[in-house]
Structure 1
């Protein structure tokens, strides 16, 4: 059987090996891992759809069905934007069971990339004798790979916030790094933002064939008929810069109403990252006077009274924060609850550590 299937490009290579048929590829995939075989088998099957699993970071994880043709449109948009064609050398270091890792593999299969698949650890194995055209990582992987970025030309990062400290470290690397915006329903990213070099931006730029606007909550609404039959209404509060650019401000469902003042946790957290090395988040806790009071939750063992005072003083000196954006209390707890893909589950963390009543 020749590689005539439009889902499988004849030039696709996996860890240096080419394939003469679909069966040849499936046998090789099975010898590597069951997840790899499952993804490829599903993609090359006769069914018109594939399953994608949401992360569960903002609610219960769920599985959705998307059409393969929609996936192909997403693949083409990414490949066009980053100027990737058949024969492009690509590093894959993401878990295959989640949408980012799954779609990265399908891009390679469909576009005919030469893919190196490595273990999806927090410190990916990057061969120093190879140069890659493209790669995708989560922020922790990127942080741990700074010395190896010289072997990668373009890299996208998603799955979590990229701290200002990490952005500063990226300013001196040759690799072009792009932060992505997207979700399972949009088949990974629909917008990207360069975050280093002279092209660094504060705003996300949407990919081709994507329209954006906002609803009455100032949340992003996405119209992308080639990848979704439905208009997607998000809970992401944004500022529209133009009909193709937006600034992400935070999650509507995370907004804290403290004494009538609406506080955006993600905005506050972006400023606190300059003084905190540990993982943390801010949240609203019930308060008789304010309705909700702003608190800071830091991952780690409780600090001494002196250390806590020192942290409070550092926060007080952050002039970029208004007085109502400064946490009223600080809690140290461990561990944070997180999804299997590593995203912090804020509400569940508060509940298991008895900081708020269980839902």
Structure 2
């Protein structure tokens, strides 16, 4: 039987203490009034979760469009939590760590999973390198790519880790390939109530490898493509209608896919379709600092491929482009002192390009 969002699991603990429904309301008020900033965010979410409404209002990150607030059904969040619990075999009493901000969907869902599945949740302030008790073992944790990079040498204390919210670079994947914990990259967005699919990043066996590892959907979720080859998600437990994305994918089955890039980022240069995200992946360990691939109008090609780099000056060694195919090589490098960012700290490509009149 699927629990209702008004339930609090008997085994749920927050920072080592057990709470029932009324207790949670009291601690939420306490956090909002007297807590650290990250605890205030936690308190505000708990107050939203415990109110009389059957939905919560969640902010999108703004990385793929204008930031907006959307209503998400609380029961859909419960269903998402159960799907994650089933996929990773999370059991009541398992210890989990949340080092993500509680004002975005990924952090909120860590809290909901704990409340619904009876997990023992430890909260820590979101930071590039979260401060935790390294002597304590955790069953499950979620990271951003930067957190995973900085936390890689301490992963022995975690059984399963998921990473999302940005591209996981080759150097990061290299740093975890021999680590004991299972690490999965996630695919999802606010509209899908956190992740709907995961991809294994390490601990491969037999013929498995990072090159043949694709996103696999959580239970009861299937995928297809529209006429643009963009991903369409059918998740009845999360949404009343199919979710059409702007993510171009290669389908391997109705539950498995390979992510290629954003439809709105695709560059058509001289009739050749190029995916900036795939090019960025090849250059990830070649360039220090932030960068991205984009395009600018060109009389001959229609669109000319460019590399935009956050730096004081252009000191880029062009030989790094040797790892790219002929048509993937940028025709121009543009230096920007500081990129525009979204509210969640991601590069805002469109605003950055607008800033340099592209």
TM-score of the superposition, structure 1-length normalised? 0.92
Q: CA deviation at 1:348?
A: 0.6
Kindly provide the CA deviation profile for residues 128-156 of structure 1, in whole angstroms up to 9, marking residues without a partner as x: 12000000000000001012101010000
In structure 2, how many angstroms separate the alpha carbons of the residues matched to 1:235 and 1:92? Answer: 29
Are 1:120 and 2:143 counterparts?
Answer: no
Equivalent in 135, 141, 165 of residue 141 of structure 2: 135
Are 1:84 and 2:90 counterparts?
Answer: yes
Which residue is 1:163 aligned to?
A: 169
Q: CA deviation at 1:204?
A: 0.3
Are 1:340 and 2:343 counterparts?
Answer: yes
In structure 1, how many angstroms separate the alpha carbons of the residues matched to 2:241 and 2:61? Answer: 20
Q: Does structure 1 conserve the Cα–Cα contact (< 8 Å) formed by 2:6 and 2:50? A: no
Are 1:70 and 2:76 counterparts?
Answer: yes
Point out the more displaced range, 342-351 or 128-137.
342-351
Which residue is 1:222 aligned to?
A: 233
Q: Does structure 2 conserve the Cα–Cα contact (< 8 Å) formed by 1:108 and 1:115? A: yes
Please show how residues 152-231 of structure 1 align to structure 2 within 5 Å.
152-198=158-204, 200-201=209-210, 202-231=213-242
Gapped regions of structure 2 (runs ≥ 5): none
The secondary structure found in structure 1 opposite 2:287 is coil
Kindly provide the CA deviation profile for residues 148-200 of structure 1, in whole angstroms up to 9, marking residues without a partner as x: 10101000000000001110111121111000001111100000011011155
Q: CA RMSD in A?
A: 1.5
Q: Does structure 2 conserve the Cα–Cα contact (< 8 Å) formed by 1:255 and 1:264? A: yes
Q: Does structure 1 conserve the Cα–Cα contact (< 8 Å) formed by 2:55 and 2:71? A: yes
Q: CA deviation at 1:6?
A: 4.2
Gapped regions of structure 1 (runs ≥ 5): none
> Cα gap change, 1:244/1:66 in structure 2, threshold over 3 Å: closer, same or farther?
same
Which residue is 1:10 aligned to?
A: 10
Equivalent in 80, 88, 95 of residue 101 of structure 2: 95
Are 1:105 and 2:106 counterparts?
Answer: no
Q: Does structure 1 conserve the Cα–Cα contact (< 8 Å) formed by 2:198 and 2:218? A: yes
Q: Does structure 1 conserve the Cα–Cα contact (< 8 Å) formed by 2:186 and 2:195? A: yes
Q: Does structure 2 conserve the Cα–Cα contact (< 8 Å) formed by 1:337 and 1:345? A: yes
In structure 2, how many angstroms separate the alpha carbons of the residues matched to 1:322 and 1:75? Answer: 42
Q: Does structure 2 conserve the Cα–Cα contact (< 8 Å) formed by 1:236 and 1:249? A: yes
Q: CA deviation at 1:103?
A: 1.1
The secondary structure found in structure 1 opposite 2:245 is strand
Q: Does structure 2 conserve the Cα–Cα contact (< 8 Å) formed by 1:74 and 1:187? A: yes
- Give every structure 1 segment of 4 or more consecutive aligned residues whose post-TM-superposition deviation is greater than 6 Å: none
Q: CA deviation at 1:5?
A: 7.5
Kindly provide the CA deviation profile for residues 32-55 of structure 1, in whole angstroms up to 9, marking residues without a partner as x: 333212211111222111112111
Which residue is 2:285 aligned to?
A: 274
